[in-house]
Amino acid sequence: MSSQPRSTQRSGPSVSTTATEEPPLLAVDDLHTTFTTERGDVPAVDGVSFSINEGEVFGIVGESGSGKSVTALSLLGLADGATVTADRLRFRDEDLLAKDEAGLRKIRGNDISMIFQDPMSSLNPVMTVGEQIAEVVRHHGDV
């Protein structure tokens, strides 16, 4: 056994600290979704912010009526009758709020998908979840 202290220096290539950081896959800053009713404006999403990097798994969890579904629908441009605003709502560094319906349609299902809360109407109980996801991918022509 050696009584000499071990060196903490390691040899090898140096790592640059000035490397450019990749933008998040999905970046949401200060998302607001409001529905206008006969009784006035109803805020459904109030200031939601998050980012998702490539390869990360992300889920939205909360109490019933807390805005989980409306948040996801807002990202997909499917919050019918709502006013959706955000400081930043970018997917692959493209502004989702600036996309028209055709542009959003290309992203829906291919890049961003949603499984709705009611699993009996969203998922087929006689197929595995994996089979159902593969079916969506085949439908969109990626397999």
| Tens digit of each residue's pLDDT (9 = 90 or more) over 84-106 | 999 999 999 999 999 999 999 99
Instruction: Report domain extents, the chain.
Output: 26-112, 117-143
Q: Per the confidence metrics, is the pTM higher than 0.75?
A: no
Selected residue with higher pLDDT from 124 and 134:
134
Q: Model confidence at 139, in pLDDT bands (50, 70, 90)?
A: confident
- Mean pLDDT of the residues in the chain: 82
41, 34 contact by CB (below 8 A): yes
Higher pLDDT, 143 or 123: 123
What is the percent of the chain where pLDDT is above 70?
A: 78
Residue with the bigger pLDDT between 71 and 125: it is 71
Q: Model confidence over 57-70: pLDDT tens digits?
A: 888 888 988 999 99
